[in-house]
Amino acid sequence: MSRMLIVDDEEKIRAVVREYAEFEEFEVTEARDGMEAVNLCRENDYDIIIMDVMMPRLDGYSACKEIRKHKNIPVIMLSARGEEYDKLFGFETGIDDYVVKPFSPRELMARVRAVLARSQAAKAAPEGTEQRLKFQGLEIDLAGREVYVDGKRASMTPKEYDLLFYLVKNKGLALSRDKLLEEVWGYDFFGDDRTVDTHIKMLRGSLGPYRNFIVTLRGMGYKFEPDA
């Protein structure tokens, strides 16, 4: 049974999400603010977190950053703010999906299933794939979901890793922005070209001297070409 942590200062929101999650056989725990969520995650393991942005004591983004220092748990953020800037800011902090209030509980659960499926697929390297890849001073540990730049571990968001993994898995292939959105972000994602471009910029920053391994294909997309 998958374990879900619901974090929201509104009791009604927690109750609605709990009802639908338990119907789909999730084991549910609730937290009323970000501080309580951080403490729960220190003591327990969860498969996914549904987290509100605006909460007392500790906001959702700060709580997510604190949790990610110790555990790599997928996070779907809930927010009343639906502007693209707010969504992109959320993804830059490392969340996995962003749902605007008011929301459909059925759509939220569909997104939960999609995020969990991507997370589980990312943890298991494809059959026949080496567990650790090396391109000059860039090392990618597929099983451990870690990236090393000249021997030093890179600090990357889960989405940066997912994007890099997909690019590496398709090394040398031209990948359109639409293809990257479909494969890396998945279910009915709101984003457009700027979403991909923003994350490519972040990823290049994390790769440092090996940023040029990600080649821009003008008017089309990107490819991973370490031998260029």
DSSP 141-193: ETTTTEEEETTEE----HHHHHHHHHHHHTTT--EEHHHHIIIII-TT----H
Rounded to an integer, what distance in angstroms lies between the CA atom of residue 162 and that of residue 206?
A: 13
Please give the average per-residue pLDDT across 107-114, as a whole number: 90
Cα distances (Å, whole numbers) of residue 175 to 153, 172, 221: 27, 9, 6
The answer to whether residue 151 scores a pLDDT higher than 50 is yes
Please give the average per-residue pLDDT across 194-219, as a whole number: 92
* Average predicted confidence (pLDDT) for the chain: 87
Dihedral angle of Cα 214, 146, 78, 180, to the nearest 10 degrees: 30
Dig out the tokens for 132 from the structure.
């650790």
Dig out the tokens for 92 from the structure.
């830059």
Please give the average per-residue pLDDT across 176-187, as a whole number: 81
Q: What global pTM score does this model have?
A: 0.67
Rounded to an integer, what distance in angstroms lies between the CA atom of residue 38 and that of residue 27?
A: 18
Helices assigned H by DSSP within 46-152: 60-68, 84-92, 105-123
Dig out the tokens for 107 from the structure.
């759509």
Q: Kindly indicate the confidence band of residue 128, based on its pLDDT and cuts at 50, 70 and 90.
A: very low
CB under 8 Å to 150, separation ≥6 — which residues? 137, 208, 209
Q: Give the bridge partners for 146, in sequence order.
A: 141
Rounded to an integer, what distance in angstroms lies between the CA atom of residue 161 and that of residue 167?
A: 10
Dump pLDDT digits (tens) for 183-204. Answer: 887 655 555 667 888 889 999 9
Residue with the bigger pLDDT between 216 and 181: it is 216
Dump pLDDT digits (tens) for 29-85. Answer: 999 999 999 999 999 999 999 999 999 889 999 999 899 888 888 999 999 886 777
CB under 8 Å to 144, separation ≥6 — which residues? none
